[in-house]
Amino acid sequence: MLIKGTVHKFGANIDTDAIIPAKYANISDPAELGKHCLENADAGFATRVTNGDILMATTNFGCGSSREIAAWSIKGTGISCVVAISFARIFFRNAINIGLPLLECPAAVEATASGDVLEIDLAKGSIRNLNRNLTFQAAAYPDFIMELISTGGLVPYVRSRLTTE
Amino acid sequence: MTLAEKILAAHADQAKVRPGEFIRAQVDLVMAEDLTAGIAIDQFKNMGGKRVFDPSKVVMVADHFVPTKDVAAAEAIKKIRTFAREQGIHYYEIGPESGIEHVILPENGLVLPGDLVVGADSHTCTYGALGAFATGIGSTDAAAVMATGEIWLKVPPTISFVYKGKLPFWVGGKDLILFTIGKIGVDGALYAVMEFRGPVVKTLSMDDRFTMANMAVEAGAKTGLFAVDEQTVEYAEARAQRPFEVYPADYEQDYKSHYEFDVSDLEPQVALPHSPANVVPISQVDNIAIDQVVIGSCTNGRLGDLRLAAKVLQGRTVMQGVRCIIIPGSQKVFLEALQEGLIEIFLRAGAAVNTPTCGPCVGGHCGILAAGERCVSTTNRNFIGRMGSPHAEIFLTNPAVAAASAVAGRLVHPGEVTSTC
Q: Closest partner residue to B148 among A64, A155, A158, by Cβ?
A: A158
B143 touches chain A (CB under 8 A): yes
CB–CB of A47/A37 below 8 Å? no
Q: Alpha-carbon distance B377 to B364, whole Å?
A: 15
pLDDT band for B383, please (50, 70, 90 cuts).
Answer: very high
Produce one character per residue of B341-376: b if its CB has 16 or more CB atoms within 10 Å, e if not: ebbebbeebbbebbebbbbbbbbbbbbbbeeebbbb
Interface test with A, best of B18, B126, B139, B387 (most A CBs within 10 A): B139
Least confident of A18-22, B108-112, B374-378: A18-22
pLDDT tens per residue, range A73-106: 999 999 999 999 999 999 999 999 998 999 999 9
Q: Closest partner residue to B47 among A67, A142, A159, by Cβ?
A: A159
- Going along A10-159, which residue ranges are E strands? 54-57, 81-84, 102-104, 117-121, 126-129, 134-137
Give the gap in angstroms from C-alpha B279 to the nearest C-alpha of chain A.
16
Phi, then psi, of B266 in degrees rounded to 5: -70, 130
CB–CB of B155/B20 below 8 Å? yes
pLDDT tens per residue, range B8-66: 999 999 999 999 998 999 999 999 999 999 999 999 999 999 999 999 999 999 999 99
Give the gap in angstroms from C-alpha B139 to the nearest C-alpha of chain A.
6
A68 touches chain B (CB under 8 A): yes
Q: Closest partner residue to B362 among A22, A40, A158, by Cβ?
A: A22
ipTM of the modeled complex? 0.93
Chain B residue with minimal CA distance to A63? Answer: B220
pLDDT tens per residue, range B111-145: 999 999 999 999 999 999 999 999 999 999 999 99
- Which pTM value belongs to this model? 0.97
pLDDT tens per residue, range B327-357: 999 999 999 999 999 999 999 999 999 999 9
Q: What's the whole-number average pLDDT of chain B?
A: 97
Non-local CB neighbours of B349 within 8 Å, separated by 6+ positions: B313, B314, B316, B317, B318, B324, B406, B407
Question: Number of Cβ pairs closer than 8 Å across A and B?
Answer: 137
